[in-house]
Amino acid sequence: MEPGHNFAGPTEFMTDDRLILTFATGKKQFITMAKALAISLDLQMCDAPRAVITDSDDPELANLYDYVIRPVPGYEHWFIKLCGLEVTQAKRILFLDSDCLAVRHLDKIWETFEGHDFAVQGLWRSELQWYGDMTSVIRKMNLPQIPVFSGGFLYYERSENTENLFKRVFEHRDNYDNLGVQRNGGHVVDEVCISFAMAQLGVGTVFPDSLDFSVTPWGLTGHMALDVFKGECHFMKGLDKPRLRRPMLYHTAHANADLRYWMQVRKLLKMYRRAQTGPIDGLRKNRKPMRALTELYLKFFKG
């Protein structure tokens, strides 16, 4: 299968054991984000095939992703992330929001999540304000607690449990306005629907945030070091009990106010496009002056 093959729907060709999935639809900036994610995955030598669901015909996406998939009816807005089982035959899917950047290799994530029908990174809560007064909603639904997590980082495997979980998720989506939960910008919140379904069916694992797989800068305290090229990202997070975070994936989660993120994106795209026009070996390019400097150094070097 040639990289960048376009699919309108399910295909028997996408039979990869592992697949990294993202989506980028609408505004050009979302397409740019998806490109940067792919380039960062290449830099960190993440060898799992990757697919992007998009309505864009940008040729760079076809070069950066193994599979380019058209949006599938029935999976609107944030729920696109759950269509992996329908549009591919992959056994294990790691969904990443397009505004993520890989800072380190992701093997540890695959190893940790393997064998779990569905997995997120977060914590269980029984009392909280989350898209409204979630405490009263939890009691109304007779649930002891629900998982709270970022929907920009999900893992799921092809199994009957996962299919049942997704079926319940979409039932909550269709009944969302009767749940007593607020929308986000007019949209049904996928995380809330997934959370309720996990709590009701007992399907899925909530891994602790301390694993530092994917981390957002919400609650940032002080300075942040972010350099995808050096494989470096660390910052203090948490207003009450600050803790040093060293994520494998930096998930900006607020790209419109994250200058650090866009500086990295610009550098990644610049490097990628220069490579497409024919990379120049820096040593060859500066061969004469470097040779002169090397000879001068060796003249005085007494090793």
pLDDT digit string, tens, across residues 18-40 = 999 999 999 999 999 999 999 99
Say what the pLDDT of residue 294 is.
83
Which has the closest alpha carbon to 37: 95, 89, 83, 97? 97
Q: How confident is the model at residue 211 (pLDDT cuts 50, 70, 90)?
A: very high
pLDDT digits (tens, 9 = 90+) for 238-248: 867 889 999 99
Question: Would you say residue 300 has pLDDT above 80?
Answer: yes
Reported as a pLDDT band with limits 50, 70 and 90, residue 4 is very low
257: in domain:
no
- 234 lies in some domain: no
**245 in a structural domain:** no
Q: Which range (9-13, 42-46, 102-106, 124-128) has the least confidence?
A: 9-13
Whether the pLDDT of residue 287 is over 80: the answer is no
The backbone region for 238, taken as left when phi is positive above 0, alpha when psi lies in -120 to 50, beta otherwise, is left
Mean pLDDT within 228-235: 96
Residue 166 forms part of a structural domain: yes
Does any domain span residue 276?
Answer: no
Structural element, H or E, at residue 85: helix 84-87
Q: Is the pLDDT of residue 7 over 50?
A: no
Percent helix, strand and coil across the chain, each to the nearest 5: 40, 25, 35
Q: Which domain holds residue 198?
A: 5-211
299 within some domain: no
Q: How many helices (H) and strands (E) does the chain have?
A: 10, 15
| CATH number of residue 189's parent domain | 3.90.550.10
What is the per-residue pLDDT for 302?
A: 66
- HSE toward the beta carbon, residue 195, CA cutoff 13 A: 28
Q: What's the pLDDT at 189?
A: 97
Share of the chain above pLDDT 90, in %: 79
Split at pLDDT 50, 70, 90, the class of 141 is: very high
Q: Return the residue matching tokens 């940790």.
A: 112
pLDDT at residue 13 tops 60: no
CB atoms within 10 A of CB 95: 21
Residue 97 has pLDDT above 70, yes or no: yes
Q: What residues have CB less than 8 Å from 104, skipping those under 6 apart?
A: 44, 231, 248
Q: Provide mean pLDDT across the span 94-123.
A: 97
Among the ranges given (74-88, 193-207, 266-280), the one the predictor scored with the smallest mean pLDDT: 266-280
pLDDT classification of 10: cutoffs 50, 70, 90? very low
Of 302, 260, 287, whose CA–CA distance to 101 is shortest?
A: 260
Mean pLDDT of the chain: 91
249 assigned to some structural domain: no
Going by the DSSP 8-state scheme, the letter that residue 204 receives in this structure is S
User: Domain for residue 231, yes or no?
Assistant: no
Q: Please state the domain count of the chain.
A: 1
Which whole number is the average pLDDT over 224-250? Answer: 93
The answer, yes or no, to whether residue 139 has pLDDT greater than 50, is: yes
Tell the residue number behind the tokens 């009392």, with chain if given: 127
- pLDDT at res. 2: 39
Q: Per-residue pLDDT for 154 more than 60? A: yes
